[in-house]
Amino acid sequence: MSTKAEKTTAFIIETVAPVFNKQGYIATSMSDLTEATGLTKGAIYGNFENKEALALSAYEYHSKLLFSKIDEILGIEGGALDKVYALTDFYRSYDTFTKNMGGCPILNTGVDAEGNNRLLAAANREAIKEIEGKIALVLENGVSNKELKLQVTPLQFAKQMFTIIQGAVAMSTMTRDRKYLINTITYLDVLIKIELKR
């Protein structure tokens, strides 16, 4: 059973994660955090060493939610192609999944932290590598099972695929037009069929 302190820490992280994600590390003030949580500055810093540690915990919280969802999707029954298409289908409505987070944590944190917060930027790079690795593993299994053909290594294809997805997420976010996301994912599905099917 969680202690009161652990529950308070979890509450703070879950509450401030969307604030940091939406506003960015630099733009988020202590008053934003106290307002969101209803706690005093002392109560927040009684649980975290500083704002940087809190921002990192908040980012890791969102990352784990995203990793868990991707694991669930890539863990479905079926072949590698079924799993890849399940992933693109998830990203087709990714903005709905990330709405309560304040947007895509990979995109938002990556842009905000680069040059502003060394630890957050490093955590974001690791999150990207982890997602690419998860995709690459599915592709590798598909090649081993002679279900898929690849002209490049599974990791290289996974990186290209994730770049296309994140580009669509970025354009959709910046223009506030879901068509960038939907149309790009539809095009990606066509590319996958051409590039991967044996």
Which percentage of the chain shows pLDDT scores above 70?
A: 99
CA dihedral (67, 135, 125, 91) positive or negative: negative
Quick one: pLDDT at residue 61?
A: 98
pLDDT at position 5 over 90: no
Q: Give how many domains the chain has, as a whole number.
A: 1
* 87-122 burial: b if 16+ Cβ within 10 Å, else e: bbebbbebbeebeebbbbbbbbbbebbeeebeebbe
CATH code of the domain covering residue 26: 1.10.357.10
Rounded mean pLDDT, 4-11: 92
DSSP secondary structure of 152-184? S-HHHHHHHHHHHHHHHHHHHHHHT-THHHHHH
User: How confident is residue 198, by pLDDT bands cut at 50, 70 and 90?
Assistant: low
pLDDT at position 2 over 90: no
Place of tokens 């879950």: 14
Q: C-alpha angle with apex 148: 137 to 188, nearest 5 degrees?
A: 80
pTM equals 0.94
Average pLDDT over all residues of the chain = 95
- Each residue's pLDDT tens digit, 65-110: 999 999 999 999 999 999 999 999 999 999 999 999 999 999 999 9
Q: Domain residues for 100?
A: 4-196
- Each residue's pLDDT tens digit, 8-42: 999 999 999 999 999 999 999 999 999 999 999 99
